Structure 1
Amino acid sequence: MTTSPQTRGTDPQENVTLEDLVDSHFHIWDLNKNYYPWLTDKISQNVAKVTGDYRSIRQDYLIDHFRADIGSLNVVAAVHVQADADPKDSVNETAWLQSVADSTGNGMPQGIVARGDLSAPDAAEIIMAHCQYANMRGMRVEMHPGLNAAPDYDPLKDETWLRNFALLREHGLVFEVRAASPEQTDGLIRLMREHPDTTFIFPHLGLSIWRDEDSVAAWKRNLQVYRELGNVYVKLSGYGLFGLGWTIEEVRPYVLECIDTMGPDRLVCGSNYPVDSMAASYHRIWETHSALLDDAGCDSAERRLILRDNAMNVYRL
C-alpha cells in the first residue's frame, strides 16, 4: 500500500471535534484497478491549469488513506465524485467503488457520482449499467468543451445530449454541473427551468476558475437565480482552486455570498480530497467550513443542515 500524499497545509487543531459531517465531494483511486490518464500518463496541462503542479497526488489514494486523513472527525458518510477514470469504460470505476463500499470501505462511499458522456450514442445503456450498483446517485458531466471535445462544442445545443439528460430524472440521479462557462449561463438556467424535477449541484462554490470582475458579478447574479429556481444546490468546497497558499480571508467573501444567497437549506460541504490535500489538511478544510458558518451567523440547526442533513437528503444517503 502506498503512503498518503503529503499535505502542504498546517493543522493546528487536529484534535478539534465538529458535528456529524457528510463529505459531499471526495475521490479515491487505485492505479492498478482503473486507468486514470491524467494520473498515469503525461501531466495534463488542462488539469494543471486548474490545480497547479499535481505530481504529489499521482499515486494511489485508497479508502484507508481517506479514513486516515479524516482522523478524529466524525464523517458519517461521503460521496465519491468521479475521478476522470478511463472515459472509454466509466462503468468500471463505479463497479470498483461499489466493491470498496461493500468491503474495506464498510459502506463508504455511501454515494457515487459517476462519469458520463451524454452525447454518446449508447449513453442510455451506460447510465443503466451505472445504476445497477446500489450506491449510484448521480452523474458528473462536462458542461464545457472539456478535454476531448471540439473547441466550439456546446452540449446545451446537442440534441442527443439533451435527450439523454432527461434520463437522469427517470433514474433518480442528481446532475453535478462541471465547469459551465459564463457563456453557457443562459442555456444552463433554461435547462434548469425545463427540468424542475432534476437536482443540479454546483461544486466548488459554483465559481470554478473564472475570477475576473465580470465573471464574479455574473456568478453573484446566477446565485440569485439558482435560489429562486429551487432545484439547485451549491457545494462549499474546492478552496484549493484559490491557490496552494489559499487563506480563509481569500475564500471568506465567496463562501459568505453563497450562504447569504442560497440559504442554509441549499448548501452542502465537501473536501475535494485528495486534490485539495496539496493545499491544506483535511482538518483545516473542515475547520474553515465551520469558522465561516460561524462568521455567517449560522445557528446549530443551520449548521446541521449544511454540514450533514442536506447532503443526506439530496444524495439519499
Structure 2
Amino acid sequence: MPDDFPIVDAHQHFWDLERNYHPWLCDPEPIAFRYGDYSAIRRTYMPSDYRVDSAGHRIVKTVHVEAEWDRSTPVAETRWLESVAAEHGLPSAIVGHAEPDRDDIEEVLAGHAASPLVRGIRHKPAAAARPDEARRGAKGSMDDPKWRAGYALLERFGLSYDLQTPWWHLPAAADLAADFPATQIIINHTGLPADRSPEGLAGWRRALQEVAARPNVALKISGLGRPGLPWTVEANGPIIRDAIAIFGVDRCMFASNYPVDRLAGPFATIFAGFRAAVADLGEAEQRLLFHDNAIRFYRL
C-alpha cells in the first residue's frame, strides 16, 4: 500500500473544554473508563491537534462520533460541530447522540437530521458488565419496546445507527437488525473484545458471527487498546484478521478513535498496525478497509 494512500478516519472526536460541557472530561470526579486512567486526554482537542497527530497520513475525510456531550442538549453538539467544520474543514460527517427511549426522541432526531453533515446517531444501550450477567429485555436495552419505538424513527429520518455495546449483547443487535432491515447498523470498536482469554475471544467470535449474518450490519475496527498495555500488531493483528474474516472486507472499516486511543498508542503506530495486519490483502481490498467502505456507509 503506497504511503499516500487515501484514508477516511471513520471514528474520531473533537472537544473544546473551555466552551462546552462534556461531563466525563470536565467533572472533577473521573468515570470508570475501559482504558483506565484517562487524565491525559482531559484537555481540549480540535482539528489542529488531530492534524498534528495524523501527520504523515493522507486523511481525506473524517467522521466525528458524538463525544459524550451534555446529555440534556445532544443537538447542541451537532450545531457546534457544524461551526468547527466550517472553520477547519473537519469533520466531514457527524454521528450525533440520541437516546431512543427519551420522550422527545423525535424532536432530537429532527434536530440532528436538519444538519447536512449528520449521517446517524450513536447510543450505548443498557448493558451488563459481564457475559454471564447478560439478560434480554432490560429497560433501555435493544429489546425495550420504548427504546425500539424510538429506534424505528431512524428510517424516517434517513439515519444510521452506530452501536457501542459489549459483544455479549450482539445477539440482541442481530435481532434488531432483522426487525429493522432498512436501518444500517455500524458496530463500534470491533465489538469490544477486551477479554483476550481463549474463552473470551471464542465468545466474541461467536457473537460477531451471529450479528454478521444480518446484511445491514457493518463493523468499525478501532478501540483495540487495553489498560496499561501498548498497542501492538502482535496483540491486535489476530483480532483484526478474525473480524475481517467474519464480516468480510466489504463491511469493515478502520478508524483511529482519536484522541481516546492516544491512551493506547500513537496514531502512526495504530495505522501502521492496521496496515501490517492486512498486508497480505490486495490493494483494492485494503482500499475498501481504509477508504471506500467508510465513504459508502457514511455517504461521503
Same fold (TM over 0.5): yes
Would the aligned equivalents of 2:24 and 2:31 in 1 still touch at CA under 8 Å?
no
Using a 3 Å threshold, how does the CA distance of structure 1 residues 215 and 198 change in structure 2: closer, same or farther? farther
Report the Cα distance in structure 2 between the residues aligned to 1:302 and 1:101, rounded to whole angstroms: 30
Superposed CA offset, 1:258-315 (max 9, x none): 1212111011110010011122111111111111111xx2101101111000000100
Q: How has the CA–CA distance of structure 1 residues 157 and 234 changed in structure 2, closer, same or farther, with 3 Å as cutoff?
A: closer
Change (3 A) 1:242 1:197: farther
Residue number in structure 1 paired with 2:77: 93
User: Contact 1:101/1:110 (CA < 8 Å) preserved in 2?
Assistant: yes
Q: Residue 100 of structure 1: CA displacement?
A: 0.7
3-state DSSP of counterpart to 1:21: strand
Compute the displacement of 1:171 (Å): 1.6
Matched, 1:315 2:290: no
Which residue of structure 1 aligns with residue 277 of structure 2? 292
Give the distance between the partners of 2:244 and 2:152, measured in 1 at CA.
30
**Aligned-residue RMSD, C-alpha:** 2.0
1:304 to 264, 268, 287: 287
Inter-CA distance 43–240: structure 2 relative to 1 (3 Å threshold): farther
- Does the C-alpha gap of structure 1 residues 181 and 70 become closer, same or farther in structure 2, counting only changes over 3 Å? closer
| 2:253 is aligned with 1:268 | yes
Q: Tell me the SS of whatever aligns to 1:164.
A: helix
Q: For 1:202-259, what per-residue CA distance to the aligned partner results, in whole angstroms no more than 9, with x for missing partners?
A: 1221134354544422221232233331111111111223644232111111111012
> Alignment partner of 1:32: what SS?
coil
Given candidates 60, 63, 66, the residue that maps to 1:76 is 60
Tell me, yes or no, if the aligned pair for 1:208 and 1:241 is still in contact at 8 Å.
no
Aligned to 1:124: 106
Look up the match of 2:51. 67
- List 4+ stretches of structure 1 deviating above 6 A: none
Which structure 1 residue ranges, 5 or more long, are not aligned?
1-15
Find the partner of 1:174 among 152, 157, 160: 160
Counterpart residue type for residue 313 of structure 1: R
Alignment equivalent of 1:229, drawn from 172, 192, 214: 214
Closer, same or farther: CA 242–299 of 1 in aligned 2, 3 Å: farther
Tell me the equivalent position of 2:132.
none
Q: Equivalents in 1 of 2:291, 2:25: separation in Å?
A: 31
The CA distance in 2 between the partners of 1:241 and 1:124, in whole Å, is 37
Greater relative contact order structure (CA < 8 Å, 6+ sep): 1
Of stretches 170-179 and 137-146 in structure 1, the one that deviates more from structure 2 is 137-146
Instruction: Give me the whole-angstrom Cα distance separating, in 2, the residues matched to 1:111 and 1:53.
Output: 29
Contact 1:168 1:174 in 2 (8 A): yes
Matches of 2:30 and 2:20 in 1, distance apart? 17
TM-score (normalised: structure 1)? 0.86
Number of corresponding residues: 292
Deviation, 1:181, is: 5.3
Q: Tell me the amino acid that sits aligned with residue 176 of structure 1.
A: D
Identity of aligned residues (%): 34
The 3 A distance-change label for structure 1 pair 82 and 99 is same
State whether residues 177 and 202 of structure 1, in contact with CA within 8 Å, keep that contact through their aligned partners in structure 2. Answer: yes
Any stretches of 5+ residues in structure 2 without a counterpart? Answer: 130-134
